Amino acid sequence: MGRNRFAWLSTLLLLRAAAFADDPCPMNASRPAPENAHLVNEVLWAGQPENPYPPAAYRLVQGVGYVLCTCETGSCIRKCCPPNAVYVNSKCTPLNASVSVAEFKVPKFVNANGTVDVYETDLFNIVYEELTCNGKYKLDPSVREDDIFQVNKAGKLLDESGKMIFAPNRFCLEQFSELNYQILAVVCSPENFEISGGQNIFYTIGMMLSLPFLFTTFLVYALIRDLQNLHGKSLMCHVATLLVGYTSLIIVQFIDDSVDKTWCIFLAYILQFSFLASFFWLNVMCFDLWWTFSGFRPLGGNIREDESKKFIIYSIYAWGCTSLISIITLGMEKLPYLPTDAIRPEFGVTKCWFDSDLATLLYFYGPIGTLLFSNLLMFIHTAIGIVKHTRDAKVLRGSESQKNVDHEKQRFMLYLKLFIVMGVNWLAEIISWATGSDGSEYVWYVTDIGNSLQGVLIFLIFVCKKRILNLLNKKLIPQFQLFKTSTKTSNCTVPSKTSSNLKNTDTVEMSTESTSNSTNNQLHDF
């Protein structure tokens, strides 16, 4: 009984003063030393009867006096939330008085079936504090067999075989309401990935470099009216979503545990929506390229009306599908009557993103992989169509037919570059996520950094072209000619209205010359 009371009082008297000392106590947990505390040869004697405390077990705090390090004088366990609070929808929430929840007890062993055994209530000093490390995740043996864990009497987290995987200051235990108040461990991301940390720094720097290039690309197409055709509008939508996505991802990199979980969850939804939208607009542009080269007839009306109708349809598809996935994600998180084994996103539980691999696959990488695969099929079919057109041009031997084939090849190569830059990099990202790191993460560094520099690559492909720069020159400083105008027209001339199976607007460079109805082109980013 006395020991139990001592543990309870120790918990209530935890001080933060030791956190400001040069050498704080483990887990910043301490309690005042008894009034009779005194030093004898660097050993602190205190209590009744007096007990010796070695230097590691006490601190001298200015204005407070001697404090005993709670986790040095006994075993400590960190509870993620305050007393009478648990994790509800990824945040610490006070328990409702009408809800009956089992007492928090430190588990000895947890496997896929739940807690196997628990310790006595008074064995550990409980520290009520969330983890303050960068990057956390939950160990859930019911989802991942490798997450089976046990806690020893020293307060260390062990794996199934008994090997220590986390020290007491690197994990906390908490009850999760969505798992029937099952107690699980939330752990800090391993610290031994020093190179991975360096990679994250370069990844963040790459995204920061991409932001001004993405903004400049969007601004160029917004300023030059001649570029605001079907292709230009699609490109602007794609660039805008990447701009929002990269900005949100950079902010997430600097979020720590002191930030309100609401902001973390909000940014997670923004990240999901923006990146999914960018891939749906990539899919739109690939589809439009495939549609054009497949020889389908326009929707009806003149070219401007046709492109306006198509852009409305494309917008409904891209924004609508993205919104639908986001709504489903939100519903799976918030709806209270879902089965306990439902795959919830769990944004903000351990990080500002999905908490499990299954949720990431279902709500993010799954749709992206499907879109990339459909893009690949459309590229293959388009390549076959180009080969067929090349053969037809050789038979016809007409300059106009050959010109159309050249336009097809150039336009296809433009989008092939974009597919390699965007699609292949993200495909590698999905593969690296699916296979895990396990020491092979070095292989994916190039594609990861390439993904972060996509804004730069888009700028080089769509803005750093002589014709675009000439248009920008005429728009901003028409009195000076900074770029020479090429006398060749093969890259800018609009195909004749009599070109077979191609609309007269399908030019590689989105020609803006004063040929009637030629300003509405159908190029894409991906």
- Summarize pLDDT for 39-56 with one digit per residue, the tens: 888 888 988 888 898 888
33, 67 contact by CB (below 8 A): yes
CA distance 248 to 243: 9
On whether the CB atoms of residues 127 and 115 are closer than 8 A, the answer is: no
102's CB contacts (< 8 A; 6+ apart) are 181
- Are 256 and 134 spatial neighbours (Cβ–Cβ below 8 Å)? yes
Local structure of 492: helix, strand or coil:
coil
Instruction: Kindly indicate the confidence band of residue 172, based on its pLDDT and cuts at 50, 70 and 90.
Output: very high
- Compute the distance between CA of residue 188 and CA of residue 170 in angstroms, rounded to an integer: 6
DSSP state of 124: S
Nearest to 77 by CA among 123, 25, 20: 123
Distance CA 89, CA 144 (A): 20
Distances (CA, A) of 148 to 7, 109, 306: 28, 8, 59
- Which of 251, 241, 248 shows the shortest CA–CA distance to 217? 241
The SS3 assignment for 67 reads strand
Among all chains, which residue has been given the structure tokens 């803006």?
A: 512
What confidence tier does 198 reach under pLDDT thresholds 50, 70, 90? very low
pLDDT above 70 coverage of the chain, percent: 70
Nearest Cα to Cα of residue 303 among 490, 72, 35, 502: 502
Residue corresponding to tokens 């996935």: 325
Q: What is the pLDDT of residue 33?
A: 86
Task: Decide if pLDDT at 290 tops 80.
Answer: yes
Query: Residues near 477 by Cβ (< 8 Å), separated by ≥ 6?
Result: none
- Least confident range from 26-35, 339-348, 398-407, 470-479: namely 398-407
Across all residues in the chain, what is the average pLDDT?
75
Q: What is the pLDDT of residues 62-119, one digit of tens each?
A: 777 888 888 888 889 999 999 889 988 768 888 887 777 888 999 999 998 889 999 9
The more confidently predicted of residues 53 and 502 is 53
- pLDDT at res. 212: 95
DSSP string for residues in 13-62? T--SGGGGSSSPPGGG-EEEPPTT-EEETTEEEETTTTEEE-GGGEEEET
Are the C-beta atoms of residues 230 and 311 closer than 8 Å to each other?
yes
- The pLDDT value recorded for residue 22 is 44
**pLDDT-above-90 percentage for the chain:** 21
Give pLDDT, residue 499.
Answer: 35
pLDDT band with cut points at 50, 70 and 90 for residue 468: confident
Do the beta carbons of residue 222 and residue 465 sit within 8 Å?
Answer: no
- Nearest-angstrom CA–CA distance, 334 and 336: 6
pLDDT for 16: 38
Q: Please check whether residue 372 is in contact with residue 426, taking contact to mean a CB–CB distance below 8 angstroms.
A: yes
Burial profile 390-414: b = 16 or more Cβ within 10 angstroms, e = fewer? eeebeeeeeeebebbbbbbeebbeb
pLDDT for res 28: 80
Average pLDDT estimate for 202-213: 88
Residue 209 scores a pLDDT above 90 = yes
Mean pLDDT over 473-501 rounds to 53
pLDDT confidence of residue 490: 36
Confidence at 421, pLDDT banded by 50, 70, 90: low
Per-residue pLDDT reduced to its tens digit, 347-368: 877 678 887 778 888 999 899 9
Q: Band the pLDDT of 190: cuts 50, 70, 90.
A: low
The answer to whether the CB of 479 falls within 8 A of the CB of 265 is: no
Question: Rounded to the nearest 5°, which phi and psi values hold at 397?
Answer: 55, 30
DSSP E strands: which ranges in 62-204? 65-69, 76-79, 85-88, 91-94, 107-111, 114-118, 125-128, 136-139, 149-151, 157-159, 164-166, 171-176, 182-188
Query: Are the CB atoms for 289 and 386 separated by under 8 Å?
Result: no
Residue 269 pLDDT greater than 80, yes or no:
yes
CA distances (Å), origin 268, targets 58, 157, 354, 508: 42, 29, 8, 37
- Write down the H helix ranges in 57-170: 70-73
Using CA atoms, how far apart are residues 146 and 482, in angstroms rounded to an integer?
62
